Chain A
Amino acid sequence: MTDLTEFKQQTTEWLEANCPASMRKIQIRSEGVFGGKQFTFPSDDAKLWFDLMVDKGWTAPQWAKEYGGAGLSNDEAKILNKEMDRLGCRKPLIGHGLWMLGPALLEYGTEAQKLEHLPKIARGEIRWCQGYSEPGSGSDLASLRCKAEDLGDHYLLNGQKSWTSDGDKADWIFCLVRTNDEGIKQEGITFVLFDMDTPGITVRPVPLITGESHFCDTFLDNVKVPKDQVVGEIGKGWSVAKALLVHERTMMADIEKNMPKPKYSVDDYAKNYLASDDNGRLDDGLIRDRLAEHMMRDSAIKLTQKRAFEEGMAGDFDMRVATIFKYIGTEEKTQKDTLITDMMGMAGAGWDNENFSVDEQTKTHEWMSNKALTIAGGSSEVQLNVISKRALGLPEI
């Protein structure tokens, strides 16, 4: 038996023995485990499952053990993922710390920073939020103005951050600030980390179309940040920010892989909500066509990610292809949400929880909230700019 087969067998056995049955069912967003000081587990099983996984280091399976991970190899992590998928196990922990800050710290953080922050992320002790956007700086992120004044051993921050997802629930923030006004705008940006309890921070939730207010306006008024909380070099925060954006985009490009597995597949909705003839053929020919097209495109997009990986291994990968994933993955995902809610008809437009099932509410909700996928983390238009320039070499606008 090879090491990998053995690993697979042990993993399967462990998951089967330890993953509570209720943790293998469809999960709605409000049941997601984001961790952090304010977090309360939606159920005892969720807590149990989380604790067991933390002990194994499987919340961040590929991080080294001293950083709270399990030090798994690529292949082992793949097996773990696959087995969790197959058994329908929920993700024990999700969020910005795991997906974005962690990978960026591994690349740019000092050893002290890694030892300080990574274990707390992996153990779900600290929940992170992202302070990039400002009222005047969205797609043109590098124009950001939040000011950091150098006061010797610390910076003094003043300014406003917007769209801070879960800013009211997070414990710490990774934030882009301006340490230098001169020269080109990308230079003079610094990447800092600080505690959301630091005096001078005001967070105001903004209600969204979903009825939730998961993102916030964040006001910084004379906030003191010690200099050892700078990640990377002073004035070189743009590189860290960009590296982190790559992780963010990769995560968003295949959001379904990173989220709990849905109970129904897209064609189940056709069967559950639409009339068919005696041969099982949908009466609505247009929906039938859209559904087939979506399923084909969805498979082609997933195959492209696989192909990119395999071609990379074979040394035959055209790097330009990497520019398409965020754009094409998120566009197809929003098409899918529209298609599903179309198939549900009025049941895909319900709000209350008396007349609409949890699944219906979730789908309707997802259709709205996933509109963000093509906007946040670099909008589709910005991605198309990137493809035009980097993949096709077209001139500056």
Chain B
Amino acid sequence: MPLALNEEQRMLRDTARDFLQDNAPVGLMRQLRDDDNVKGYSEDLWQQMIDMGWPAVAIPEQYGGLGFGFVGVGAILQEAGKTLANSPFFNTVALGAAAIIHGGNEQQQADLLPKIAHGEMRLALAHEESNHHKSSRIECQCIINENQLTINGCKQFVAEGGNADLLIVSLRSQPTSKSAAGITLALVDPKTPGITVKKITMIDSRNYVHIDFSNVTISTDNILGKAHHGLALLDKTLDHGRICLAAEMLGGAQAMLDKTVEYLKDREQFGRKIGAFQALQHRAAKMFAELEIAKSAVIHALSAIDHDEDLAMVASTAKTLANDTYRLITDEAVQMHGGIGLTDEMDVGFYLKRCRVSIQSLGDSGFHKNRFATIQHF
């Protein structure tokens, strides 16, 4: 599997870099935060991303997409991570489109994928039910009765859930002791009667909601994949999300490393640049090395998506390395900036906060190491 970007992918990366640096610097994110913007993203920016065809990047050509694959998605997200640019892109493409590409029937694909490609539809995955990411312990219940499906329960921390035009909801359709069976995924319009959406504010200032389902009834046409056998699709979808989120995280880590090194070359104490202190040099050097190996794990995992390889191991490896590297670098960034690193005026804190939420999203390192060990039978 290729680990280097090809020419088209490099062009996409470079375009994304230039565009986001110019149009979505960290200042934009700061503005959204200051304005208490409920959406957590700029409609203008999203519209420009649509105009450039970004939502279409990973959609197959037959559905109006560009067929560029997820290496392309990762390249965009890495650049977005650098400036903390938020938009519906990640949840719509990395989770939503992935689920529909791999689990949608012909009708669903023909109906939804072109809309995603054209930026007419924003999706979110309503999956978590507690403070910690889990893949299969689902209690939100659905009862399938002839051609109807009734949902009761709640979902928590749904990223972009308040902005989504359509939700993908993971449900327990068969009460069973074995958590692996009896899971069904469904496409649910958030405006369906019986749904209550409650906005929550997280430290990264993005859009998150809790969603309550009370006797929500929809047609079984909305089942995504096979009823009761949705776990494999759910896992595959989550793996797409984990890998793509890891790409975004590395962008953030890169920006923080660059900013910190810049600061080390600028700030003086004891009559010299603090970057001349070896205690700081070595730590900065380690950050650089860690980031480079994490990049390899992530590009490998993105490439695995496009080559239709098994994703579990590579996704868990990519997310673990991204988690640990982003944390190392943001923690060190604050420390090496000294007191000023704690001020709201500096951007460092925004990365620190985004890092914490990203780590907890789609599995922290403990979760992924446990999963990796289980798959490896130890």
Binding site for B on A (CB under 8 A): 267, 270-271, 276, 280-282, 288-289, 291-293, 295-297, 299-301, 303-304, 306-307, 310-311, 313-314, 316, 320-321, 324, 327-328, 381, 383-385, 387-388, 391-397
Contact = CB atoms under 8 A, between A and B. Distances in A.
A384 B288 CA distance: 10
Given A288-B370, A289-B373, A394-B261, 5 more contacts: A281-B373, A291-B373, A307-B296, A324-B292, A392-B281
A395 B300 CA distance: 34
Contacts of B282: 381, 384-385, 388
Contacts of B366: 289
Given A299-B297, A304-B292, A281 B3 contact: no
Nearest to A310: B4
16 contacts: A271-B378, A281-B373, A281-B374, A282-B373, A289-B366, A295-B376, A296-B369, A300-B294, A300-B317, A303-B293, A307-B296, A391-B285, A392-B284, A395-B265, A395-B273, A397-B276
A393 B263 CA distance: 12
A contact patch SS:
helix
A388 B281 contact: yes
B199 interface: no
Interface string B275-298: 111100110111011001111110
Given A316-B4, A316-B5, A295 B372 contact: yes
B377 interface: yes
A394 B317 contact: no
Contacts of A396: 276
Contact of B296 (A276, A295, A300, A327): A300
A327 to B, nearest CB: 6
A394 B265 CA distance: 6
B95 to A, nearest CB: 23
Sorted nearest first, the 7 A-B pairs with minimum C-beta distance are A387-B285, A388-B281, A310-B4, A303-B296, A292-B369, A307-B3, A324-B289
B299 interface: yes
Contacts of A393: 261, 265
Contacts of A303: 3, 293, 296-297, 300
Given A281-B373, A328-B289, A392-B288, A310 B2 contact: yes
A387 B261 CA distance: 12
A142 to B, nearest CB: 19
B285 A395 contact: no
A137 B6 CA distance: 46
Interface of B: 2-6, 10, 261, 264-265, 272-273, 275-278, 281-282, 284-286, 288-289, 292-297, 299-300, 316-317, 320-321, 365-366, 369-370, 372-374, 376-378
A327 B289 contact: yes
A83 B297 CA distance: 25
Given A307-B3, A384-B281, A391 B373 contact: no
Contacts of B369: 288-289, 292-293, 296
Contacts of B377: 280
A295 B320 CA distance: 12
Given A276-B378, A388-B284, A288 B299 contact: no
A278 to B, nearest CB: 12
Contacts of A324: 288-289, 292-293
B373 A288 contact: yes
B321 A296 contact: yes
Contacts of B297: 296, 299-300, 303
A289 B316 CA distance: 13
A281 B281 CA distance: 40
Contacts of B6: 314
Contacts of A297: 293, 321
Contact of A384 (B272, B285, B294): B285
Given A310-B2, A313-B4, A387-B289, A296 B372 contact: yes
B4 A311 contact: yes
Contact of A328 (B275, B293, B374): B293
Given A384-B286, A394-B276, A267 B281 contact: no
Nearest to B375: A292
